[in-house]
Amino acid sequence: MSITTLLFFFLNGLSEGLLLFLIALGLNLIFGVMGVLNFAHGSLYMLGAYLTYTIAVQGNLSFWLALIIAPVIVALVGGAIEILCLRPIYNRDVSSQLLLTFAFVLLINDLVRLLWGNLPLTILNPELFQQTTQILGDPYPTYNLFIILITPAIAIGLWLLLKRTRWGKLMRAAARDPVMTGALGINVSRLFTLVFILGTWLAGVAGVLAAPLRTINPAMGDNIIIESFIVVVIGGLGNLPGSLVGALTIGQVNSFGILIAQRAQVAFPFILMTIVLLLRPRGLFGKSRS
């Protein structure tokens, strides 16, 4: 096994992990601040991919335009869901929220079927990234390298937003203690809407980035949501750096699992999650909320 091959396995794991991180990030942000487990997150990711198809293929516009527009549309859908459906039931039992977001999984999946049909769709790689890049003499997909670069950029942007801006401070405050934040005169319900919009925007971005790599089909949301939840559980519910570690670990475990023990590879993420839950029930980086 050459160094190049090992490096490729590492890069494969990195690009898969980072894309997963982007999906888990939105999921975890929404949970961390609002306490809502959004099952529909995978479906919104799928919606992002379908919108990319509409913009880039049916509309014959550029992929880069889709990268800007599609996540905004997804975020607006997310905002509508939060204002119209989630907001009235925050006082109710958590199971109501779970049922509601699950209902949206079914609704969005059927909507996608109705609008775009059941046939799988594809879009071409953006022109800039159609070639391979030579790494130590072997060709490697340039688009994967693009994923490896852009995802951390988005994550750093989000981190700066949370750390350095007033809105970020408010979000963190609301995550810690929403009642106190409200008592200090902050409009918490508007803040929640913003967080939900930001989280679903991230799902939309991930959907656009995944569209040139993965087949766009009505099952693509369901295929990703379980792994995203595993990432969130491993990293710690509501803990964003934890999501990064969780996603990168899953990416590498998946990638090298194929090399080392292919038959067991499917089970590795679940085994990893079980071990983490046994040793650190709140996830690697989770702190108890007391």
Partner 1 sequence: MYYQYSRRTFLKQIVGAATGFLTACNLRNAEQNKTVKIGAMYLLTGGFATYGEFARDGINLALEEINQTGGIDGRPVEIIFEHEGSPIQTARRLVLQEKVDFLLGIDSSGNAEALVPIIPELEKILMITHAASPKVTGSLCNKYVFRCSVNSPQNSTAGAIVAAEEGYQKWTTIGPDYAFGRQSWELFQKALQERKEGVEFLKTTAFPKLGVQDYNSFITKLQNSGTDAIWCSLWGNDLVNFIRQANNFGLFERFPVYMELGAAMEVLTALGEQMPLGQWVGTRYWWQTPDTQINRNFVQKFRDRYNTYPSYNAQNAYVGLHLIAAAANEAKSTDTAAVIEALKGRSYQAPMGQLILREQDRQAVVDVTWGKTAASSDYNFRVLDPIKVIKGDAIARQPSLTGCQN
Check if the beta carbon of residue 22 is closer than 8 Å to that of residue 260. no
Least distance from C-beta 10 to partner 1, angstroms? 10
Check if the beta carbon of residue 29 is closer than 8 Å to that of residue 196. no
Q: Report the residue number, 139 or 281, with the smaller CB distance to partner 1.
A: 139
Least distance from C-beta 180 to partner 1, angstroms? 41
Contacts to partner 1 by CB under 8 A: 1-2, 5, 8-9, 12-13, 15-16, 113, 118-122, 124-125, 132, 139-144, 210, 212-215, 217-220, 222-224, 254-256, 258-259, 262-263, 266
Least distance from C-beta 146 to partner 1, angstroms? 11
Read off the tokens for 72: 């905004």
Residue labelled with tokens 């994967």: 144
Q: Report the residue number, 34 or 206, with the smaller CB distance to partner 1.
A: 206
Check if the beta carbon of residue 59 is closer than 8 Å to that of residue 45. no
Least distance from C-beta 139 to partner 1, angstroms? 5
Which residues, in sequence order, are bridge partners of residue 140?
Answer: 133
Least distance from C-beta 38 to partner 1, angstroms? 20
Q: Report the residue number, 167 or 256, with the smaller CB distance to partner 1.
A: 256
Q: Report the residue number, 195 or 203, with the smaller CB distance to partner 1.
A: 203
Pairwise CA distance, residues 220 & 200, whole Å: 16
The alpha-carbon radius of gyration of the chain (Å, integer) is 19
Of 55, 89, 38, 61, the closest CA to residue 198 belongs to: 38
Q: Report the residue number, 96 or 125, with the smaller CB distance to partner 1.
A: 125
Q: Report the residue number, 1 or 153, with the smaller CB distance to partner 1.
A: 1
Cα 281 to its chain centre, rounded Å, is 22
Least distance from C-beta 111 to partner 1, angstroms? 14
Give 57's DSSP letter. Answer: I
Which residues, in sequence order, are bridge partners of residue 97?
Answer: none
